[in-house]
Structure 1
Amino acid sequence: MRHAVKKSMRIVAGLVLLASTSLLSSSLHAQELRGKITGRVMDPNGAAVAGATVKVTDVARSTTTTFTTNADGLFDALYLLPGTYQVVVEASGFKKSLQDKVQVEINQTRHLDISLDVGTPQETVTITAEAAQLNVSDANLGQTIDRKRVDELPSIHGDPYTLMGLSPGVTYTGSSRLDRPFEPTHIAGFAMNGVRGIRSDLLIDGAPSTATANANEVIASYVPPTDITQEFKVQTTTYDAQFGNTEGGVTSIAIKSGTNQLHGTAYYWIEPGGWAANDFFGNSRGQARPFTFSNRPGFSVSGPVIIPKLYNGKNKTFFLFSYEGIRDSRPRFDANNVWVPTAALASGDFSAYVSKVKIYDPLTGTFNATTGAITNRTPFTNNIIPANRIGAVAKAVLPFFGSPKGGPAAGFLVNGNIFDSTLAEKTRRYDNFTIKIDHNFTEKDRFFWRYSWYNRDSSYNNYTGT
């Protein structure tokens, strides 16, 4: 029997246009995963400095947004991509203040208390910001898995969701044998703070990235390669009202965006055939080791959009493109409650099961039209069907059932006699593509578009050998 699985996902996530109107800004905030910098500007005595000019610069893209503090000395810089920022504050009668290396994580509110020294704007006080040690902006509990950890920590088959397990209160409940990016029922099978597994929400770039499989299961509809994952945040308890489509936690992933510098990565992960140990179930049944292998090539490239002699997108338009493929073969056999006829059963010999079942001659018996019962049936001698009573069609079909690979499972007559640990699931084709465009129209109007697609074609449970 040949079982083929093909799955294609086309996800268009993005098309987020930041307009200056409060109505549109409010609607976009409903699933906003970018960060923000808030702050209060004060004089040496702690009094608010109103009318100060605040410039927030994205260091990687050289884009600057300008703000003015209000009567209370407050400012808000919203919709910031995760990364490093520089904050410059100028006010008449005070030295210029430069807050350098301000790190903003996914969905983080970074608060700065900026104290200005008396002097002239020609003088500059530079302060290197330290990482925020405590979240004081909201009641969320969770952990941010930053780019450094995504890069340096091992992830099975390049699946970033495996790093969810680093967060306190998170436990994996899925199958350890189904761990590839195209097995979404299991890769996101984490239980958070006591909630059952596969009941957590998943977001990519602020858009839901979930689907449903079995009853009451929330699964991942798309898994980005680790090479294009900027960072992600696992929220386990008391997350904002903008989240909470399920009773579990929320995992939010931010896909990388291009910068002013051209960047690229390339990799080829390989598991040579024959290096893997035998499957546990194969050892227990004395069956041979299956042939397994795994090949996972991939690359990514990002930078400014530059069309020679036509367009220079530095500081303005950026792109990201990535590809990842998987070709592998690994043990898999999960056909439950199935069996194939033994040689005796195929020839019509049921004598070994006479105490469990009796085979009657279908051409005998009396039918009662009132009750629908058949009586006075004649059993075959010794529970054996004569060879001349087995039809030609049945004889032609029987070879396609295959032969038993072993004895029945414990407690069964024949069930499980085809279990074969040497059978493998073969992924003939898995391709994963992502393209992302970011564009800055003005200081306050920005846009991004992302298209992600994957295709899977595999075969498994081929226990008949057909």
Structure 2
Amino acid sequence: MHLSADVTGSILGTVRDSSGLIVVGATVTATETTTNFARRVISGSSGEYRLLALPAGPYKVTVTAAGFEQFVTKDIDVKVNDELRIDVTLKVGAVKEAVTVEANTVQVQTESTQLGEVIDSKQMLSMPLNGRSYIDLLSLQAGVAPTTSESIQQDRPVSGMLSSGNIAVNGQRETANAFLVNGGDVSEGRNQGAGLIPNLDSIQEFRLITNGFDAEYGKYSGSVMNAITKGGTNQIHGDVFEFLRNDDFDARNFFDPTKAELRQNQFGYAVGGPFWKNKLFWFSDYQGTRQTAGASTGLVPVPSVSERSGNFDPSTFVDGNGNPTGVNGSYWASVLSQRLGYAVQNGEMYSFPGCATTAQCVFPGGVIPQRAYDKVAVNILPYIPVPNQSNGFYADASEKNTVDDNKFGERVDFVNQMTGNWYFYYHLDNSEVDQALPPPSVTGASVPGFPANTPTRAQEFVMSNTKTFGASQVNEFRASFFRTATRTDEPAGSFAQLSALGFTTGLGTLGIIPSGPAGFPQTVPPIYFNSFNIGVPTLTTFQPDNTYAIADGFSKVMGPHSMKFGGEFRYIQINERNTCAPNGDFTFNGSETGIDFADFLIGAPTGYNQCSQQ
């Protein structure tokens, strides 16, 4: 159990007269200037006052006391987790007279040990962020370093294309951070990055706490990223936007035959206003992202046309030590004898310079007759491209990766003295990523023809109530639910029945028994060569995660001190269903003939891998 994560700020200070004596019983009022929400307290016996649980926003503070002029301080910007000290000096005079002070200096926090920077909406929107994600700003703070640890799968982007923010803070692991939106935990369950990133225009501010956490932030040893979304005000306000990136001024990659395409559009709105002035407010936002980005293979060494026909240099039929390779075992001798129509002996050399007859070696002149080809190799050979560049290389920059993302956010705030202040927040993010060339981390092929699809849906709901009891007690209650459901790298092409490719399949055979879940397609399996690989990605993961949380925190001012206690119950449900090589995968590295592609043609893999469903 730990205290609930705070999403508000506070103002405190001491009220004195011009001679330095404390003023007891002064009325201190903080008013949020965009909604006219107000909270009042009375200065205590030591002149101290504390305004607790103030929603983030611009405030003015008014202090009145009998026999003194009214004191007003404007333009106080309360940020999330702030504890601002504003000491007040009252002058003797009539209450109807007022002294107004502009809060135009930096307000220093001296009441909290927490370290971390706050970045507000104005700062975020003024920065040219590619993808419009505030998560990209985390690494600007002291003690923060982006991580490239291979222990983290870097295939869980948010909204289809945004970084999930797996950062290392003060030397801690990249999985030791919390990501909160309006106090609700939106951490993705597997890698503990952000599972949801709202529209940038809907974020009022965020704070990354890196040191000295208060007790309310349990569970995390790295950092806490606390983002607050905007709410409605008494005036309708908002914006409509469209951002475009394209390849007009891009250069061609040196190794690509053509310039890769890029079209990225991000459009939407963020607008809020009142249902009922000073009482009920609304805020709505939407952002759509459409991206088409060229996918380049780079230069990939592939078998030449002559090698596809079985013509190899006889001097390349050698092992790692440069010695000629021979038939490895009586099984291969028998298989090759049947295919070739002449006797092949165990240990007989495959080929070598000067070999001209089948009496000297298996493949005279380094030529593998097509009758020696394995039938599976014959059926899979069309999936391997022929060279289209000099020196036996293949290059293609015409393939396209696409991102289609839609995110919606709705917030309602209700100011009520009887029941307390309420807000309700809901966010929905649907994204779909189509990859023509999936990355190597998910066993993606190095040549086109084996696409994958990753659909994701993320949702968050937060309900919060803040209720004051008298001038010195505040209770904050919050319930939240977060769900993210992802199916990573589903096969999207090269579907083929294994039996149609020539494989033996089915129970009771020595062939492949597909291990995927019911309905999982059969495809061209991954095949790994020394310099390239083909086949449909096999690391498909279905991951629906749910996080339920109920939290309550009670604060009380006791003279010059304030106490806060409470707790949170959080139920985190991580479900993961993996497929790993459900149709098998094969590796050819030349362990039989000394040439990986020659091994493929005769059907002699170095290794075979298949996983059971997890």
Give the alignment's TM-score, normalised by structure 1.
0.77
Does the 8 Å contact 2:186/2:194 carry over to 1?
A: yes
Determine which of 448, 451, 471 is the counterpart of 1:464. Answer: 448
Deviation at 1:324, TM superposition (A): 0.9
Taking structure 1 as reference, are residues 220 and 447 closer, same or farther at Cα in structure 2, changes over 3 Å only? Answer: same
Deviation at 1:103, TM superposition (A): 1.6
Determine which of 17, 24, 30 is the counterpart of 1:50. Answer: 24
Tell me what 2:282 maps to: 319
Following superposition of structure 1 onto structure 2, how do residues 265-344 of structure 1 map, counting pairs within 5 Å? Answer: 265-279=239-253, 283=254, 285=255, 287-305=257-275, 313-332=276-295, 342-344=304-306
Does the 8 Å contact 1:34/1:106 carry over to 2?
A: yes
Deviation at 1:345, TM superposition (A): 4.7
Cα separation, 2, equivalents of 1:187 and 1:332: 22
Amino acid at match of 1:300: A
Taking structure 1 as reference, are residues 403 and 434 closer, same or farther at Cα in structure 2, changes over 3 Å only? Answer: farther
Point out the structure with max Rg over C-alpha: 2
**Would you say 1:447 and 2:430 are equivalent positions?**
no
**Would you say 1:122 and 2:96 are equivalent positions?**
yes
Amino acid at match of 1:321: S
Tell me what 1:230 maps to: 204
SS in 2 for 1:156: coil
Tell me what 2:363 maps to: 381
Tell me what 1:308 maps to: none
Determine which of 369, 374, 381 is the counterpart of 1:398. Answer: 381
Does the 8 Å contact 1:321/1:434 carry over to 2?
A: yes
Taking structure 1 as reference, are residues 72 and 406 closer, same or farther at Cα in structure 2, changes over 3 Å only? Answer: farther
Bigger relative CO (Cα 8 Å, ≥ 6 apart)? 1
Determine which of 262, 286, 309 is the counterpart of 1:347. Answer: 309
After the TM superposition, which of the residue ranges 162-171 and 80-89 deviates more from structure 2?
162-171
Does the 8 Å contact 2:121/2:201 carry over to 1?
A: no
Aligned length: 409
Taking structure 1 as reference, are residues 350 and 444 closer, same or farther at Cα in structure 2, changes over 3 Å only? Answer: farther
Q: What are the Cα deviations for residues 282-340 of structure 1, in whole angstroms up to 9, with x where unaligned?
A: x1x353321122111111111112xxxxxxx21111111111111112244689xx986
Does the 8 Å contact 1:201/1:244 carry over to 2?
A: no
Cα separation, 2, equivalents of 1:317 and 1:120: 36
Tell me what 2:167 maps to: 190
Taking structure 1 as reference, are residues 334 and 259 closer, same or farther at Cα in structure 2, changes over 3 Å only? Answer: farther
Deviation at 1:110, TM superposition (A): 1.1
Cα separation, 1, equivalents of 2:327 and 2:24: 96
Q: What are the Cα deviations for residues 161-211 of structure 1, in whole angstroms up to 9, with x where unaligned?
A: 222233233344469x99985357845143333445564322211122211
Following superposition of structure 1 onto structure 2, how do residues 353-372 of structure 1 map, counting pairs within 5 Å? Answer: 353-356=316-319, 364-365=333-334
Give the gaps of 5 or more residues in structure 1.
Answer: 1-25, 306-312, 367-374, 409-413
SS in 1 for 2:112: coil
Amino acid at match of 2:168: A
Cα separation, 2, equivalents of 1:316 and 1:97: 26
SS in 1 for 2:383: helix
After the TM superposition, which of the residue ranges 193-202 and 53-62 deviates more from structure 2?
193-202
Does the 8 Å contact 2:31/2:59 carry over to 1?
A: yes
Tell me what 1:430 maps to: 405
Does the 8 Å contact 2:256/2:397 carry over to 1?
A: no
**Would you say 1:153 and 2:127 are equivalent positions?**
yes
Cα separation, 1, equivalents of 2:23 and 2:418: 23
Cα separation, 1, equivalents of 2:37 and 2:420: 12
Amino acid at match of 1:329: T
Amino acid at match of 1:424: K
Cα separation, 2, equivalents of 1:194 and 1:332: 35
Cα separation, 2, equivalents of 1:48 and 1:87: 18
Amino acid at match of 1:364: A
Taking structure 1 as reference, are residues 438 and 44 closer, same or farther at Cα in structure 2, changes over 3 Å only? Answer: same
**Would you say 1:77 and 2:51 are equivalent positions?**
yes
**Would you say 1:30 and 2:9 are equivalent positions?**
no
Taking structure 1 as reference, are residues 79 and 286 closer, same or farther at Cα in structure 2, changes over 3 Å only? Answer: same
Cα separation, 2, equivalents of 1:140 and 1:184: 32
SS in 2 for 1:449: strand
Cα separation, 1, equivalents of 2:166 and 2:137: 12
Cα separation, 1, equivalents of 2:142 and 2:256: 41
Cα separation, 1, equivalents of 2:251 and 2:157: 18
Give the alignment's TM-score, normalised by structure 2.
0.59
Does the 8 Å contact 1:156/1:180 carry over to 2?
A: no
Tell me what 2:600 maps to: none
Deviation at 1:458, TM superposition (A): 2.0
Does the 8 Å contact 2:59/2:76 carry over to 1?
A: yes
Deviation at 1:256, TM superposition (A): 0.8
After the TM superposition, which of the residue ranges 246-255 and 182-191 deviates more from structure 2?
182-191
Tell me what 1:39 maps to: 13
After the TM superposition, which of the residue ranges 453-462 and 251-260 deviates more from structure 2?
453-462
SS in 1 for 2:15: strand
Does the 8 Å contact 1:319/1:435 carry over to 2?
A: yes
Tell me what 1:310 maps to: none
Cα separation, 2, equivalents of 1:49 and 1:59: 26
Deviation at 1:255, TM superposition (A): 0.9
